[in-house]
């Protein structure tokens, strides 16, 4: 979230961060938003219990009042109903710390290490009713080291998340993406032909 706020403050960025909404008053992003001069709102989800539609109605009211056009999720650990997701189809982004469709859900770094993959990373994708799925907008990769723990891998992947989420938002908000079925296509040209091979042979 902080990376998105920082990027949006740059001249010419095609989106404005209008507000930050959290479903718990202890979310650290609220203070960051306030320091940045961005409206911060708490809509507690706990009182709604299993009434997801009730919570979403309150959320939708806030989104409508502030004329929100695009939602960027980050660390929002609450599932939306299919109706809410469909209402925001093509206008809600999420970031997940793995190279989806590999390792969705909880503990993606532990999953990656147990699978023995040599490359992991992060994915920005449009949200659909299925968890950690949807058309992929952008991905970034890091090498997995033999001595990695979930914590050390998470730290390197986090730096990738901070880089690709603002770039993905830039693409989407500038109209440079198009959803074609289950695939997101981008008008942005490829700038590199680099190939990441791990382990690298000398």
Q: Per the domain annotation, does 6 fall within a domain?
A: yes
Nearest to 93 by CA among 151, 152, 136: 136
- Residue 157 reports pLDDT greater than 90: yes
- How many domains does the chain contain in total? 1
- What's the pLDDT tens digit per position in 90-101? 999 999 999 999
Of the candidates 96, 109, 125, 162, the residue annotated as catalytic is: 96
Query: pTM here?
Result: 0.94
Q: Per the domain annotation, does 12 fall within a domain?
A: yes
Q: Per the domain annotation, does 50 fall within a domain?
A: yes
Q: Per the domain annotation, does 195 fall within a domain?
A: no
Report whether 131 contacts 77 (CB < 8 A): no
CA-angle at 113, arms to 122 and 103, nearest 5°: 45
Q: Per the domain annotation, does 97 fall within a domain?
A: yes
CATH of the domain at 62: 3.40.50.170
Q: Per the domain annotation, does 10 fall within a domain?
A: yes
Q: What is the pLDDT of residue 76?
A: 87
Q: Per the domain annotation, does 37 fall within a domain?
A: yes
- What's the pLDDT tens digit per position in 17-51? 999 999 999 999 999 999 999 999 999 999 999 99
Report whether 93 contacts 126 (CB < 8 A): yes
Q: Per the domain annotation, does 191 fall within a domain?
A: no
Whether 96 is catalytic is yes
Q: Which domain holds residue 76?
A: 2-186
């Amino acid at each position: 979230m902080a990376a998105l706020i920082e990027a949006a403050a740059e001249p010419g960025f095609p989106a404005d961060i209008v507000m930050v909404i959290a479903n718990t008053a202890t979310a650290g992003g609220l203070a960051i938003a306030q320091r940045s001069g961005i409206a911060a709102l708490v809509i507690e989800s706990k009182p709604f219990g299993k009434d997801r539609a009730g919570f979403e109605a309150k959320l939708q009211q806030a989104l409508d009042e502030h004329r929100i056009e695009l939602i960027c999720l980050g660390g929002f650990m609450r599932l939306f109903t299919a109706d809410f997701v469909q209402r925001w189809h093509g206008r809600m982004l999420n970031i997940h710390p793995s190279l989806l469709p590999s390792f969705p859900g909880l503990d993606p770094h532990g999953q990656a290490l147990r699978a023995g993959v040599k490359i992991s990373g992060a994915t920005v994708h449009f949200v659909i009713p299925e968890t950690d799925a949807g058309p992929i907008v952008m991905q970034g990769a890091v090498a997995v080291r033999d001595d990695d723990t979930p914590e050390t891998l998470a730290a390197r992947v986090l730096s990738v998340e901070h880089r690709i989420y603002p770039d993905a938002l830039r693409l989407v908000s500038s109209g440079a993406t198009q959803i074609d079925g289950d695939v997101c296509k981008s008008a942005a040209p490829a700038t590199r032909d680099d190939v990441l091979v791990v382990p690298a042979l000398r």
